[in-house]
Amino acid sequence: MKLPRQIKQYSSNAQYYLQAADKFPSPTKDAVQILLLITGWENIILAEEELLSSQLDRLINPKLKKDHAVKLDKVDKNSFVERIIVSPKGKKIPAESIKYKTGQELKKLREICQYGLDNETFEVAELFRRHWFTDSLRNGLIQKIKWVNSWVNYIESIEETSWGWDFKTKDT
């Protein structure tokens, strides 16, 4: 059984967005970089789900392709974006750390990258000027792309050497 071609296409999309994100290193264009990394994650999650679906004969959750939060819930829990909020000069308020790691938080962050933040500023360039850290999200995406691609290569190599046998037989 051949793998669905969209697996490779989604994986290729994820690599494309990762490469594009690398052209905007922190801290120059953090909002653009974050938006590209999140889009890359969404694509590699779709690739992984298509891969699992094709190998396990199960259906993909229909919400997965429609809802950002459902897709982003599948981001590795060790992959996140961190923002450090530093107090204004002269104020002795400790710095605050905010991590965006759940599906809902990453969906909200995606919207912040596009439109700004109600209670701070709608000006994205000002909001993302400094103190955003994306290494964890980027590194996790790299690892997930490698994982999906290695499984695709492995399954394709088995298909090439199986001489047309379909090993996915069901008991009748």
Alpha helices in the chain (DSSP H): 5-22, 30-56, 68-72, 103-115, 124-127, 135-161
CB–CB of 86/131 below 8 Å? yes
pLDDT tens digit sequence for 63-89: 998 999 999 999 999 999 999 988 777
Cα 8 to Cα 48: distance, rounded to the nearest angstrom = 10
Please indicate, yes or no, whether the overall pTM of this predicted structure exceeds 0.75: yes
User: What contacts 94, CB < 8 A, 6 or more positions away?
Assistant: 87
Calculate mean pLDDT across residues 10-15. Answer: 96
When pLDDT is averaged across residues 45-68 and rounded to a whole number, the result is 90
Query: Confidence band (pLDDT; 50, 70, 90) for 10?
Result: very high
Residue 150: predicted pLDDT:
95
Q: Are 49 and 64 in contact (CB under 8 A)?
A: yes
SS3 103: helix
Band of pLDDT at residue 94, cut at 50, 70 and 90 = confident
Q: How large is the average pLDDT for residues 9-33?
A: 88
* CB-count burial class (<10 Å; 0-12, 13-18, 19+) for 63: exposed
Strand partners, 108: none
Q: What is the mean pLDDT of residues 8-22?
A: 95
Q: Which pLDDT score, from 0 to 100, does residue 172 have? A: 44
